[in-house]
Amino acid sequence: MSNNNPIQTAFEFQRTAVEQTQQAAHDAVEAQRTAFQTLAENLDTVQALQSQTNQMSQEAAHAYLDAVEAAVPEDAAPEDAAQFDDLRQMIDDGFESADEVQADAWDSFDDIVDESVAAFDEYADNYTEAVDTTFDTFLDAHEEVENNVEGVADDFDVAAN
């Protein structure tokens, strides 16, 4: 049969559409994989921003205490200065505790995200393998149907002549 055969052209069109769908499935999985990995990689930035926010909050609390202390008359009792020192220490202790809790939380979260990325990668690999197997099986069957249809068409042409 010639390349201008409408049956062959129809089967080539179908095969091309199936192959493009297979590639689209691969592209979709890769886009998801890239998005997930980008999210995981940007967690460090979020963690750094949180740390900077904590630091600025601590500095703001100290600045507030400095302003209040400066507003206390100089002839105030000496124990007032000690109270401000105690408040500063309490603020520092509170922020230190918060930093430790947040560091532990981020470590746990990082572990979970790393495990999730690995699990998604495994899923994506298995999924694309299944997609490829399914499409390959379909294309093999499609080729067999094409050969059968072309054979019947050839037989019909021979019988008609």
- Whether the CB-CB separation of 51 and 99 falls below 8 Å is answered with yes
pLDDT for 2: 47
How confident is the model over 71-130, as pLDDT tens digits? 887 776 667 677 888 999 999 999 999 999 999 999 999 999 999 999 999 999 999 999
pLDDT digits (tens, 9 = 90+) for 27-73: 999 999 999 999 888 998 999 999 999 999 999 999 999 998 888 87
Domains of the chain, residue spans: 6-160
- Which residue did the predictor score with more confidence, 149 or 127? 127
Q: What do you get for the CA distance between the two ends of the chain, in Å? A: 15
Interatomic CA distance for residues 48 and 115, integer angstroms: 21
DSSP secondary structure code for residue 4 in this structure: T
